[in-house]
Chains A and B, each alone.
Chain A
């Protein structure tokens, strides 16, 4: 073997004075560059890696896209303010296909391949329930923005948290008095036939019963269904309120067919915004919704009494006063849920700073530090409103909005109080081994 090109000839690669000066200058330039100095106090300036399990494809894809936008905005805000413990935050995104099996694989991939510090993200409850065991096994903290009651039910494990969005059981409990008092006493429920829908099926009847109202029929619809008229004859004629919560790409069809079926001669409607997330409320055929009510996590439309924090949050994420992407009024956001990504990332930041988190070896400390949190004040970090956090059930509790459709917009007519949604914990995660 001959070395014709002199690759291995060390004598050729002498360090010239010019090269040395260049290198020095570049090094000095980096050191004064913005961003570098801020992280320089940290012992390690390696980024905090957050594995983001996103619904990029599958029936949750519209949510996934807006969750990514909100997360990117929150990470930018956190990094601009100096990162977490002086370290920049880096997000690694993997697609879970809105599929539980794929979700569990993605969690495993974050833990072993990307070696992220935590896993964060996803919405659909069956994906969370499917992924939670993988997070527990890998002992990697798993922060979800899912809305379902599965975290608070304490049936998952100690590594799963939901600190950014109130769970369904609490939402229902806090809104039931309003429904019974303002909408009607005989309620028919329409819900998706999977975990998230079952939370509604199980917790609405007792919550209404306590207010002297009754659920007279429950209609479960598969989440992949594309045509709904055939279910409507099951709605009893004496129904005063239709309580609807649907998910998936066919939500608009659902609401439209409901309109065709009833016309203006309809019972009262109370819906979860899930039935219309990422869908323009002024789509043709939805006129009959005028005057009906919706639950909203965070209001889609800008409200006259919006706080400065709420305004700043909307601007950072890039949504206009109608809750659509700035510059594209047809690209409607999932405003009722995605605020949870923003807030959860700030909870992660707080917990990591409390724990003095340095790397994956401190994951147990991070779990304990998160469990020790009790309150999140309303402000730039929590623009949706104040929240309390129960470390035993890993769940936060916040205010809920009830909005009325008026003139093609959603106007908040009632805000619940945090106390309205509190319930007896069903268990205690802190007794589980780490």
Chain B
């Protein structure tokens, strides 16, 4: 294959990775930014989203698009509810202590993963894409659905940004992130904001999973890679920074796509991890992060 089409394929693959990664990492970043909780179970909420998408889309007969749209709405809501329960039952009782919540979310990771193995099983199961249009380029074919994932993710990112910057809920969240004690003194129900943010973070991961599941199947171990990559993105972009997260996701996604097409996927992972190390050494707050107070 010639260089031009080769690069185009690499960029397309990279953009799909970026799109899903940006949504997942944004959830992780929000939770950390507002609550100062490192959510190690984030990848499992991603997995739950995919598994639920399978369950919902197989339960609904008819055109695959109906099942998929139902999954796109219902799966994140269910995952959000589960996250809210987990937050009330576990994190709140630990007073959001940073060390304790890391251990607690590791526990949640294993509990969710093993429950998925018990009730869903070890198989990788497919979800039918809402439409299967194959775009025929002169050099290779490409899945039309993959392109729509990029568009959907961009829309969702814009929507999240609007919520955070233009609405009262966003204002309350930003106030809590800026200084939770002062926010509380001004009558913001910090406790409820925490619950909402944790659920929202999990929902973003679940939406990303529903978008990706027609491309790669639902499997109970699928949460591990997104978790690792999300951490990489969030560290490079700056914890708690929306803009940083998106920029870093595009950077990591594209470099992953291009490096793994032209060289090897292992090299792409090595470079991403190396970038994290360099960012931590020279700019510990991340590319767009602010110094912690």
Contact assessment for A250 and B124 in the assembled complex, using a CB-CB cutoff below 8 Å: yes
- Give the residues in chain A near B123, CB-CB below 8 Å: 61-62, 249, 278-279, 331
- Give the residues in chain A near B107, CB-CB below 8 Å: none
Contact assessment for A263 and B134 in the assembled complex, using a CB-CB cutoff below 8 Å: yes
- Give the residues in chain B near A257, CB-CB below 8 Å: 143
Interface check B260, CB cutoff 8 A: yes
Contact assessment for B126 and A284 in the assembled complex, using a CB-CB cutoff below 8 Å: yes
Give residues of chain B (120-165) contacting chain A, Cβ–Cβ below 8 Å: 121-126, 128-129, 132, 134, 136, 140-143
Give residues of chain B (170-219) contacting chain A, Cβ–Cβ below 8 Å: 215-217, 219
Partner of A252, one of B117, B217, B221, B265: B217
- Known contacts A225-B265, A226-B216, A285-B132: A249-B124 contact under CB 8 Å: yes
CA distance A51 to B1 in the complex (A): 51
CA distance A140 to B132 in the complex (A): 53
CA distance A278 to B124 in the complex (A): 9
Interface check B266, CB cutoff 8 A: yes
Contact assessment for A59 and B221 in the assembled complex, using a CB-CB cutoff below 8 Å: yes
CA distance A85 to B160 in the complex (A): 69
- Give the residues in chain A near B126, CB-CB below 8 Å: 252, 256, 283-285
- Give the residues in chain A near B64, CB-CB below 8 Å: 284
CA distance A65 to B126 in the complex (A): 19
- Known contacts A230-B257, A233-B1: A263-B143 contact under CB 8 Å: no
Interface range for A: 35 or more
- Known contacts A229-B13, A230-B10, A284-B129: A253-B217 contact under CB 8 Å: yes
Contact assessment for B122 and A260 in the assembled complex, using a CB-CB cutoff below 8 Å: no
CA distance A263 to B123 in the complex (A): 26
| Chain A minimum-CB-distance residue to B64 | A284
| Chain A minimum-CB-distance residue to B117 | A57
The winner among A58, A252, A253, A260 for most chain B CB atoms within 10 A is A260
- Give the residues in chain B near A331, CB-CB below 8 Å: 123
Contact assessment for A261 and B122 in the assembled complex, using a CB-CB cutoff below 8 Å: no
Contact assessment for B266 and A222 in the assembled complex, using a CB-CB cutoff below 8 Å: yes
CA distance A257 to B136 in the complex (A): 14
- Known contacts A230-B10, A230-B261, A263-B136: A250-B217 contact under CB 8 Å: yes
B45 vs chain A, min Cβ distance (A): 17
- Known contacts A229-B9, A230-B260, A260-B134: A65-B121 contact under CB 8 Å: yes
- Give the residues in chain B near A253, CB-CB below 8 Å: 215-217
- Give the residues in chain B near A232, CB-CB below 8 Å: 140
- Known contacts A226-B225, A237-B1: A263-B141 contact under CB 8 Å: yes
- Give the residues in chain B near A251, CB-CB below 8 Å: 124
- Give the residues in chain B near A252, CB-CB below 8 Å: 124, 126, 217
| Chain A minimum-CB-distance residue to B127 | A284
Partner of B221, one of A64, A237, A249: A249
A281 vs chain B, min Cβ distance (A): 12
Partner of A249, one of B10, B217, B257: B217
Residues 311-327 of A, flagged 1 when their CB comes within 8 A of B and 0 if not, give: 00000000000000000
Interface check B222, CB cutoff 8 A: yes
Interface check B17, CB cutoff 8 A: yes
| Chain B minimum-CB-distance residue to A193 | B266
Partner of A61, one of B10, B122, B143, B225: B122
Contact assessment for B17 and A284 in the assembled complex, using a CB-CB cutoff below 8 Å: no
Interface check A44, CB cutoff 8 A: no
Interface check B6, CB cutoff 8 A: yes
7 inter-chain pairs at a CB distance below 8 angstroms, sorted by A residue, are A57-B122, A65-B121, A226-B216, A227-B17, A250-B124, A251-B124, A284-B126
Could you list 19 further interchain pairs (A-B, Cβ under 8 angstroms) beyond the known A61-B122, A230-B13, A249-B124? Answer: A57-B122, A61-B123, A62-B124, A64-B122, A226-B225, A227-B16, A229-B142, A230-B9, A249-B221, A250-B124, A252-B124, A253-B215, A260-B142, A260-B143, A261-B140, A261-B141, A261-B142, A262-B141, A331-B123
